[in-house]
Amino acid sequence: MNEPQAARILDGTVVAQEVEAEVAAASARLPFRLGLAVVCVGNDPASEIYVRSKAKKARELGIDGIERIFPDTLSEAELLDVVASLNEDDAVDGILVQLPLPRRIDAQKVIDAIDPRKDVDGFHPINVGLLHLGRRALVPCTPAGVMRLIAATGEAIEGKHAVIIGRSNIVGKPMAALLLNASATVTICHSRTRDLAAVAREADILVAAIGQPLFVTDDFVKPGAIVIDVGMNRVEAGFAPRLAHDAGKSQLLAKNGSVLVGDVDFARVRERAAWITPVPRGVGPMTIAMLMHNTVEAAMRRRG
């Protein structure tokens, strides 16, 4: 009897490079410079790193990456003024406000103030509505990136059963809309779902976007499924026993004192799935690549 084959790895860095090459080619072809403004408020070092890396990636691809980094003292009214001036600026094709914002600022109010034609995060209610209507929209970057990863398997989505674990506005819900628009049969699970493992085992395509390290074990996975792990969780020494079966991660944890893991127990699930994304180098690189893609898309539509 043949031994079961381990899953094929869906390498997000490779697919992201393809998207980035498309973006670079488009930006070289267009008769105008593309502009992406990334706005950050507060002293969160992680947010500042994200914003700078997004602007840097934009510049690498021939897009003017404009960083606007403000101190924690910036008021909501001042931030709304910043957004209004970026809306007015014809050289700016895309506006991204890095979340989370300081708690005293109403993030939804800020998102609602972004010109929907420049809303490269796809969080504005107009874009959310268009996506759910199955119309052309600027689509949130992470689920859009997952669609590209699924496309890279070469397997058709139509008619497959997709199960998404997580119902957030930035991942789970838009992911469900995209898969439904691609004619999958879609089930969305969340913290109140009963017998989650049994529901997940029905999936031909399983997307985990939960924020719980190694939550999805082999018991959740139908043999031959495509498994996409959106989760990014940094775990520390106390987690070592739960990683004992994964030599690679265990070594990294012992060496660095912490390690990044997904929502999927990669070492176990890869023995059952047909395709699987690793963490890191899976969904993560796709998010930033799709942001650049959305900037091109926004520019082409707004500027005709």
**Catalytic residue positions, numbered:** 54, 98, 121
Q: Which two tokens stand for residue 142?
A: 């992470």
Q: Does 231 bind ligand NDP (CB under 6 A)?
A: yes
Residue from 13, 87, 153, 212 that binds ligand NDP (CB under 6 A)? Answer: 212
Q: How far is the CB of 98 from ligand NDP (least distance, A)?
A: 12
Determine contact, residues 298/136, Cβ cutoff 8 Å: no
Q: Please identify which residue in the block is written with the tokens 């990136």.
A: 145
DSSP secondary structure of 2-19 = PPPPPPEE--HHHHHHHH
Q: How far is the CB of 190 from ligand NDP (least distance, A)?
A: 4
Footprint on residues 52-71 left by ligand NDP (CB under 6 A): none
The SS3 assignment for 183 reads coil
Residue nearer to ligand NDP on the CB measure, 113 or 230 = 230
Q: Which residue is nearest to ligand NDP (CB)?
A: 168
Residue nearer to ligand NDP on the CB measure, 111 or 196 = 196
Residue nearer to ligand NDP on the CB measure, 153 or 233 = 233
Q: Is the dihedral of CA 203, 241, 190, 119 positive or negative?
A: negative
Q: Does 287 bind ligand NDP (CB under 6 A)?
A: yes
Q: Of the listed pieces 54-62, 108-116, 236-244, 282-290, which binds ligand NDP according to CB under 6 A?
A: 282-290
Q: How far is the CB of 210 from ligand NDP (least distance, A)?
A: 4
Footprint on residues 109-148 left by ligand NDP (CB under 6 A): 142
Rounded to 10 deg, the angle between the 283-302 and 45-60 helix axes is 60
Binding mask 168-197 for ligand NDP (x = CB under 6 A): x-xxx----------------xxxx---x-
Q: Is the dihedral of CA 57, 116, 26, 88 positive or negative?
A: negative
Other beta carbons within 10 angstroms of residue 250's beta carbon come to 18
Q: What contacts 175, CB < 8 A, 6 or more positions away?
A: 142, 143, 146, 164, 207, 209
Q: Of the listed pieces 99-107, 267-275, 280-288, 292-300, which binds ligand NDP according to CB under 6 A?
A: 280-288
Distances (CA, A) of 185 to 158, 196, 204, 218: 8, 17, 10, 22
Residue nearer to ligand NDP on the CB measure, 185 or 233 = 233
Q: Does 42 bind ligand NDP (CB under 6 A)?
A: no
Residue from 124, 160, 167, 268 that binds ligand NDP (CB under 6 A)? Answer: 167
- What residue ranges in the chain does DSSP mark as E strands? 8-9, 34-41, 63-70, 94-97, 161-165, 185-189, 205-208, 226-229, 233-236, 258-261, 275-276
Residue from 6, 233, 240, 242 that binds ligand NDP (CB under 6 A)? Answer: 233
Residue nearer to ligand NDP on the CB measure, 74 or 290 = 290
Distance CA 119, CA 142 (A): 14
Strand-pair category, 226-229 with 233-236: unpaired
Q: Which residues bind ligand NDP (CB under 6 A)?
A: 142, 165-168, 170-172, 189-192, 196, 209-212, 230-233, 283-284, 287
